[in-house]
Every structure is written in structure tokens, then in C-alpha cells.
Structure 1
Amino acid sequence: MVIALDFDGTIVEHKYPAIGEEIPFATETIRMLIAERHKVILWSVREGKLLDEAVNWCRKRGIEFYAVNRDYPEETMTNNNHFSRKLKADLFIDDRNLGGLPDWGMIYQMVHNNMTWNDVIRNARPSINSYEAPKRKKKWGIF
């Protein structure tokens, strides 16, 4: 799977342009996803020196991204006439998701087990899924 990861607020706490503290289990989980042969792309608003700092921060923690702010490592505007900052990924992990960022343990379980949010909700509340609406009594009458 190709997974695009945001940096600020997702891997580290928001302190932009500085680098915040690591969000618990983020780097460990990312290393596990890479070990499972997922192509993990760093997808960040950071550019230039700020982007280099983020990449180096991750590298010091054992994370080597498949690509950074592009679909594949060799992609440039000159060798891809359809170059776009909009990535072609199977999954985007970002703290700005609708509903916010799940904890990294949940993120790992969802990716590893190929689960959707519906699967997570269904597993978390099995009694809701088995709920049946009460049967309505038939009303016989003249209309």
C-alpha cells in the first residue's frame, strides 16, 4: 500500500516551524509499516530547510521514506509532465482528518488488518450492529 503521512501534528506535535515532540508510538509504528513493505511517503507543507529538518529528524529515528512530497523518489517536474503536489496514495494519515488523528496503535491495526473506520466502529460497538428496530403494529382502518 502507498501511505502518505503528514509530519506536523501527525508524527510530531504542532510546533511549526519548530519540530515538536514525537506523538507517542509514531516512529515505531512507521518503522513497522515500512518493514511490512508499505511505501511510506512523507507528505508535508514543509519545504526547503524546514523539510530537510523533518526528513533528518525521521532519519535519526530509523525512518527512510519511499519518497518525500512526491509520488516516487525520482519524480521531478521535468520527468513527469503531470507532476502535482497532490499525491496518488492509497491512504493519507493526517491530523486534519475528519474526526482527528486516531492513536498510532489504532492506525497500525487499521493498516495491518486492512480495516476501515466502519470496521473499527462495528468492532467497538457490536451491540449497536445487532440492534433491530421494534416491529410496528399494523393499523387497519379506512383511508
Structure 2
Amino acid sequence: MRSLIIAVDFDGTVVEDAYPRIGKPQLFAFETLKALKQERHRLILWTCRKGERLKEAVEFCQKNGVEFYAVNSNFPDEPLTTEDSPKIVADIYIDDRNLGGFPGWEKVWKKLKPNDGLPEDERSKGLLQRIFG
């Protein structure tokens, strides 16, 4: 699979929605994000949070082992002004506000890696079994 740019929402996607607080991590969120980074995909944190709330979200992700390529922008350190479009250009958008809602990280992983390069007998295992053996 080619390297993808993946925009990831925070509240309701990486963590349970508890805004303005930070909710509990969604099941398999950080494991999936780490695996996607390991496969050299560019992850962009794409959230409505700003200011101190945004800083808290970024730090929470870092404490859980995920550093994003960029935050609310297409490139690291890209300056944002009122004239800039807040639209992030990505190949995939992972967000709880998708039509049908957020399917969960195991389904996200299966969608991105349908066969996961695994032998037939391994394909039926869930994400947790694959990550932790």
C-alpha cells in the first residue's frame, strides 16, 4: 500500500467525546495510530480544538506514544491565518461525524488493511490478537 495522508479527529474518535475535558482513549485508537505511523503513513490531527484545549490534546497523544506529522494544517509548522482555508487535504478522514458515525478502530484497521498481508488462518483474528499476539 502506498503511503497515505490520514486526517484524524480527536474528540469522539481518538478519545471518547467529553469536550472540553479529554475523554478515555477509544479502544485500539493508539495501537492503530502507532501501527499506521510505523507503516509510514502521515497522520494529521484534525480537530476543532484550539488554544490550550488543542495543546492538551496534542500532549495527551504524545503521552500515549503518538506524534502527529501536523496539527490542524497540511504541513508541520504551517502558519495559519484568517485567510487560510481550514480544510486539510488528506487521502482519508477518520472522524466520528462521518455518515453512519465512527465505526471503531478495529473496523478502521480492517478497512485500511483488508488482508493485512496475513496468511488465511490469521485473517480472521481481531486487531487485539494481531497486535498483542
Paired residues for 1:16-55 under 5 Å: 16-55=19-58
Which residue of structure 2 aligns with residue 123 of structure 1?
Answer: none
1:10 correspondence with 2:6: no
Matched to 2:48, the amino acid is V
Runs of 4+ that moved beyond 2 A = none
1:4 Cα offset (Å)? 0.3
**Which fold has the larger relative contact order, with Cα–Cα distance below 8 Å and residues 6 or more apart in sequence?**
2
1:75 correspondence with 2:78: yes
Give distance in 1, aligned partners of 2:57 and 2:66: 11
1:77 Cα offset (Å)? 4.0
Larger radius of gyration: 1
1:39 Cα offset (Å)? 0.3
Give distance in 2, aligned partners of 1:72 and 1:111: 23
Task: Give the unaligned 5+ runs of structure 1.
Answer: 115-143
Paired residues for 1:1-143 under 5 Å: 1-77=4-80, 83-113=84-114
Taking structure 1 as reference, are residues 47 and 77 closer, same or farther at Cα in structure 2, changes over 3 Å only?
A: closer
Deviations 1:70-89 (A, max 9, x none): 001031147xxx73210111
1:6 Cα offset (Å)? 0.4
Task: Give the unaligned 5+ runs of structure 2.
Answer: 116-133
Aligned pairs, number: 111
SS in 2 for 1:56: helix
RMSD: 1.6
